[in-house]
């Protein structure tokens, strides 16, 4: 027996053994995870529709582009504020405010008569989105023992990823049948249900007096900075695909059923997350990183050259490993690298990387689409592979050591 093990008192050892055999998925954890799925579903559902909807209201292509991107740009500036607030106030209170703002934003979309008002409601939606993403991640970490944060974030990340894949797949097909406004009633209903669900969470994650002590305002968690950079690298191809794969397939005249792409992604992600759920707290970061890095390179090449539904399906499966798997690993690593009184800041730093990918990925892809032949659309995105590798090699000791902070 190691000296570290020997130093554990019998009472503490008994408590640890009891915790080990007890499920971490309590009623509160399940409710918060369900709520997180619903608010993300509500937000991501509208993303593929906003551009076309704005133009249908008379917005120019330039204004429509601003409306699409403004939510992500607003989020980048609001993340640090949300992170600091989350470390001082009840996660329930901030999640409730965030949910209400998202609902106001979506209802505003439905009733907007022009693009200018749509822009305003997009900002309101983005503010609520920032609060909910940061607060609910931290809320989950608050509800589970620290040694199980990886497993909890694995399931939480799965709920997030499923919402981010299922919502666009449904919206892209539904609006063609019933129109924009009626389609947007579905995410409004999902957000309303989310607001109702969190009322039944018993532990509202109120910070302790020590955590609420006045401290210096920080823009980011320096410890979690490499996580944010990697999140951007892995996120750019994902958000480019989410925004442009339908257009890309049409432009390249590829004989594939692209409407099934995100459904395949979601199914594969569900399978791998279920199979690997017990390893997130025991396997070091480097293993997940290399697996996801190789998968990212493979799926980008597959999407560049796909000529059949089989290649498309393999590309979707590769993206599930390349992005879907590393997403929750990065999320939990940001929390583990941040001090207990800066969990909100660590979470906001992770999401800042996601915001950058969501905002700039599709913009850069638009430039590439105009400047280079269609085949290069995905091949150019392979640049994220060496960039991610450089970040990892610089901070590999910190990233691999995160698991020791349970």
Three-class DSSP labels, the chain: CCHHHHCCCHHHHHHHHHHHHCCCCCHHHHHHHHHHHHHHHHHHHHHHHHHHHHHHCCCCHHHHHHHHHHHHHHHHHHHHHHHHHHCCCCHHHHHHHHHHHHHHHHHHHHHCCCHHHHHHHHHHHHHHHHHHHHHHHHHHHHHCCHHHHHHHHHHHHHHHHHHHHHHHHHHHHHHHHHCHHHHCHHHHHHHHHHHHHHHHCCCCCCCCCCCCCCCCCCCCCHHHHHHHHHHHHHHHHHHHHHHHHHHHHHHHCCCCCHHHHHHHHHHHHHHHHHHHHHHCCCCCHHHHHHHHHHHHHHHHHHHHHCCCHHHHHHHHHHHHHHHHHHHHHHHHHHHHHCCHHHHHHHHHHHHHHHHHHHHHHHHHHHHHHHHCCCCHHHHHHHHHHHHHHHHHHHHHHHHHHHHHHC
**Terminus-to-terminus CA distance in the chain, angstroms?**
20
pLDDT at 144 over 80: yes
* Sign of torsion over alpha carbons 218, 224, 230, 235: negative
Average pLDDT (65-78) is 80
- CB–CB of 46/168 below 8 Å? no
The more confident residue out of 248 and 288 is 288
Q: What is the dihedral of CA 276, 279, 280, 283, to 10 degrees?
A: -130
Model confidence at 6, pLDDT cuts 50, 70, 90, reads very low
pLDDT at 212 over 60: no
Q: Determine the pLDDT at residue 20.
A: 47
How would you class 307 by CB atoms within 10 Å of its CB: exposed for 0-12, middle for 13-18, buried for 19 or more? exposed
Least confidently predicted of 3-17, 72-86, 243-257, 296-310 = 3-17
Q: Determine the pLDDT at residue 272.
A: 85
- CB–CB of 336/149 below 8 Å? yes
* Euclidean distance between CA atoms 313 and 292, whole angstroms: 17
Percent of the chain exceeding pLDDT 70 equals 91
* Euclidean distance between CA atoms 106 and 56, whole angstroms: 17
pLDDT at 322 over 90: yes
pLDDT at 159 over 90: no
Q: Determine the pLDDT at residue 305.
A: 93
Model confidence at 271, pLDDT cuts 50, 70, 90, reads confident
Q: Of the spans 30-34, 71-75, 165-169, 239-243, which averages the highest pLDDT?
A: 30-34
pLDDT at 300 over 80: yes
The more confident residue out of 130 and 25 is 130
pLDDT at 43 over 70: yes
- CB–CB of 345/84 below 8 Å? yes
Q: Determine the pLDDT at residue 217.
A: 67
Q: Determine the pLDDT at residue 260.
A: 83
Average pLDDT (235-263) is 85
Instruction: Give this prediction's pTM.
Output: 0.76
Least confidently predicted of 3-12, 167-176, 243-252, 393-402 = 3-12
Task: Convert the pLDDT of each residue in 161-171 to its tens digit.
Answer: 778 778 877 88
Q: Determine the pLDDT at residue 286.
A: 94
Q: Chain-wide mean pLDDT for the chain?
A: 84
The more confident residue out of 93 and 216 is 93
Average pLDDT (361-371) is 79
Task: Convert the pLDDT of each residue in 100-114 to its tens digit.
Answer: 999 999 999 999 999
């Amino acid at each position: 027996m190691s000296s570290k093990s020997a130093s554990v008192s019998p009472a503490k050892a008994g408590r640890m053994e009891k915790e080990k055999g007890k499920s971490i998925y309590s009623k509160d954890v399940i409710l918060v995870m369900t709520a997180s799925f619903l608010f993300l579903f509500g937000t991501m559902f509208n993303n593929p529709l906003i551009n076309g909807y704005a133009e249908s209201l008379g917005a120019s292509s330039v204004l429509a582009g601003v409306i699409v991107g403004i939510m992500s740009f607003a989020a980048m500036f609001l993340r640090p504020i949300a992170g600091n607030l989350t470390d001082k106030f009840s996660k329930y209170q901030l999640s409730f405010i965030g949910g209400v703002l998202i609902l106001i934003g979506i209802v505003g979309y439905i009733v907007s008569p022009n693009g200018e008002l749509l822009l305003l409601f997009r900002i309101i939606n983005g503010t609520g989105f920032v609060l909910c993403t940061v607060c609910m991640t931290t809320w989950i970490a608050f509800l589970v023992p620290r040694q199980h944060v990886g497993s909890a974030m694995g399931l939480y990340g799965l709920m997030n990823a499923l919402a981010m894949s299922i919502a666009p797949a449904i919206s892209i097909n539904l609006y063609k049948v019933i129109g924009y406004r009626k389609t947007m009633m579905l995410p409004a209903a999902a957000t309303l249900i989310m607001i109702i669900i969190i009322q039944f969470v018993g532990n509202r994650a109120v910070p302790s007096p020590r955590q609420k002590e006045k401290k210096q305002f920080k823009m980011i968690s320096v410890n979690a900075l490499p996580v944010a950079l990697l999140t951007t690298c892995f996120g750019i191809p994902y958000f480019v695909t989410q925004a442009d794969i339908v257009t890309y397939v049409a432009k390249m005249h590829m004989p594939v059923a692209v409407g099934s792409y995100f459904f395949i992604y979601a199914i594969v992600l569900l399978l791998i997350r279920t199979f690997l759920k017990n390893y997130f707290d025991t396997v070091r970061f480097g293993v997940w990183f290399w697996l996801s890095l190789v998968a990212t390179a493979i799926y980008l090449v597959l999407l560049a050259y796909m000529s059949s539904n089989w290649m498309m399906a393999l590309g979707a499966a590769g993206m599930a490993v390349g992005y879907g798997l590393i997403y929750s690993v990065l999320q939990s690593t940001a929390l583990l690298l941040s001090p207990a009184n800066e969990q909100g800041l660590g979470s906001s730093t992770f999401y800042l990387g996601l915001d950058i990918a969501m905002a700039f990925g599709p913009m850069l892809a638009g430039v590439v689409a105009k400047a280079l032949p269609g085949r290069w659309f995905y091949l150019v995105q392979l640049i994220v592979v060496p960039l991610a590798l450089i970040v990892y090699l610089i901070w590999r000791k910190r990233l691999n050591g995160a698991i020791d902070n349970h």
